[in-house]
Amino acid sequence: MFSVFGLPGHLQSLVTTTLIGRCEEHRGSTAMAFEPETPSALDYSSWSARFSVIGLGFGFYAAVFLLSHLLSAACSRTYASLLAKEKVFWNLAATRAVFGVQSAVAGLRALTQDSQVSADKVSGQEDWSWFNILTATGFFLFENVALHASSAVFRSFDLPLATHHFFALSGFAGAVFWDSVGHYLPMVTLLLEMSTPFTCISWMFLKAGWAHTLFWKANQWVMIHMFHCRMVLTYYMWWVTWCYWEDINIRVALPHRLLFFTGLALLTFLINPIWTHKKTMQLLRPVDWNFENKPVPKNGLGGVQGKNPDEGFYRRSGNLNLGPPAARQQLQLDWVAKGLPFPSG
């Protein structure tokens, strides 16, 4: 009896077996189908090279933090009017924005480019992914140092942010320590930082009194969209881990798996929804929820309403009668709320 393909049953079985074997052979060699990378000047298997790049990442983003402070102090009247704690947050926001650009490029490259990293999602690695893993570890180390130093100095603590940074540093440090793990999921995790440039713009312009401008609202819309994309991205990461569950259990160390899945669960079901909700509500009612949910002024810089609302200028000049009465009254209320002595001149 002949099959629908016109071949006897035993020949069709032989052909089918051969085709399946070819498919399996192709699947196993997919990662080898790409052109090899140009040899890197760094040997990422060397611990000295790894620590050097981690130090480079730490130093670079510490320099970005310092540069943000210097430029803002020289050019921004709003920055001069901020409290010390707010200045630290301002500079951290700028630093996160720069890291967000690097992270978005790395994450999009992993998602869209044919490479060893995307072909073997459990153990694929390349030099460019190693560079991003190590510099990200340096950044998250800097973030944790800055966050906890600021918390100690100003006696405050942001639990969701601290939890996020702990799992970020632990996860990327784990990818450095257990160096056989693939870099696909860490690169996709970096893409979650795509919202930070828009968060930076939102907060800085909020403090500058631009919360009622079209530009700020447009940025807020984009930022909210980015936070929704973050949520979709976490669902995609769950799907990838489900598809490669057996390989992950075999190739990824148990402590690293616990860190990754605990952090991903907190991000998916707690942190992302909270942040997305707050950013959405901020569009409807512009408040600085990082600092006591204070409403922002419709006009002006540094929290003072009026035509010439430069609180920093008033403070430096010592003459608070230079501004309009409404500005002086608002400034007095702000200073009393902050426990500062209000000059009579």
The yes-or-no verdict on residue 227 having pLDDT over 70 is: yes
Confidence of residue 27 (pLDDT cuts 50, 70, 90): very low
**Percentage of residues of the chain with pLDDT beyond 70:** 72
Q: What pLDDT score was predicted for residue 323?
A: 44
* Mean pLDDT to the nearest integer, 195-210: 96
Q: What pLDDT score was predicted for residue 30?
A: 41
Q: What pLDDT score was predicted for residue 325?
A: 52
CA angle 97, 103, 106 (to 5 degrees): 150
pTM to 2 decimals?
A: 0.76
Give dist(CA 301, CA 92) in Å, integer: 20
Q: What pLDDT score was predicted for residue 288?
A: 85
* Mean pLDDT to the nearest integer, 103-110: 98
The yes-or-no verdict on residue 215 having pLDDT over 90 is: yes
* Mean pLDDT to the nearest integer, 285-307: 59
The yes-or-no verdict on residue 244 having pLDDT over 60 is: yes
Which residues fall within 8 angstroms of residue 312, CB to CB, at 6 or more apart? 77, 78, 79, 80, 81, 301, 302
Question: Cα 158 to chain center, whole Å?
Answer: 16
> 41-45, 231-235, 330-334 — which one is most confidently predicted on average?
231-235
Higher pLDDT pick, 50 / 344? 50
Q: What pLDDT score was predicted for residue 159?
A: 85
Q: What pLDDT score was predicted for residue 145?
A: 96
* Mean pLDDT to the nearest integer, 76-93: 95
The yes-or-no verdict on residue 33 having pLDDT over 80 is: no
- Three-state SS for the chain is CECCCCCEHHHHHHHHHHHHHHHHHHHHCHHHHCCCCCCCCCCCCCHHHHHHHHHHHHHHHHHHHHHHHHHHHHHCHHHHHCCHHHHHHHHHHHHHHHHHHHHHHHHHHHHHCCCHHHHCCCCCCCHHHHHHHHHHHHHHHHHHHHHHHHHHHHCCCCHHHHHHHHHHHHHHHHHHHCCCCCCHHHHHHHHHHHHHHHHHHHHHHHHCCCCCCHHHHHHHHHHHHHHHHHHHHHHHHHHHHHHCHHHHHHHCCHHHHHHHHHHHHHHHHHHHHHHHHHHHHHHHCCEECCCCCEECCCCCECCCCCCCCEHHHHHHHCCHHHCCHHHHHHHHHHHHHCCCCCCCC
* Mean pLDDT to the nearest integer, 172-188: 96
Q: What pLDDT score was predicted for residue 28?
A: 47
Confidence of residue 331 (pLDDT cuts 50, 70, 90): low
Q: What pLDDT score was predicted for residue 305?
A: 37
